[in-house]
Structure 1
Amino acid sequence: MSWAYLFIAGLCEIWWAVGLKFTEGFTKLVPSVVTIVGMIASFYFLSGAVKTLPLGIAYAIWTGIGSAGTIVASVLLFGDELTLGQIGCLVMIVGGIVGLKLLG
């Protein structure tokens, strides 16, 4: 169950990171509330995951899911462009996440 909590926490991190773009510096009420709810949900699920998973591993995977997912979301939602080198780095982040899970 802890791994499921960690995955959900990572998805919630993507939610709030993308939400930041829509808050316009927390000047828009609804996007700000939605973003803050995402932050709370992300920390809630992360706290559930670290009850049984090692903190360092859980934190690395959480931030990795959030980072990689936010990059993909920004490309899809905002038309951000990636260089070949950036794509390579993204692949390494995902590889690190998979490695931490499989070797844990």
Structure 2
Amino acid sequence: VTIAAALSAAAPRLQTRLEPETPGTGVPTLALHVAGAADALSRALQHGDPPVHLGEGRLDAGILTLNPQTVREDDDTTLVRCLLAACASLPPASPTTAPPPPP
């Protein structure tokens, strides 16, 4: 089970998208979008056990990024557990929150 598939099944509020390789790296990136709560998700992940740090370069757009090269195969389960726990700790979604960006 891939990280994206596990998250999509267990955390419907979290939208995931595998983006083509990042220019200059040749590596695809997993983009994570939680409408109106990306900053809260990032904080929850950083204060979790173990702490998880995702790319925040697109935080203003509500997107956190994960470079798959930073995740060892043995850590997939731990990463998914941390992401699910962080999503569960988020406040309820606002009905006025914008939908995720199109794929």
Structure with greater strand percent: 2
Structure with greater helix percent: 1
Q: TM-score by structure 2 length?
A: 0.28
Q: Which has the larger radius of gyration?
A: 1
Q: TM-score by structure 1 length?
A: 0.28
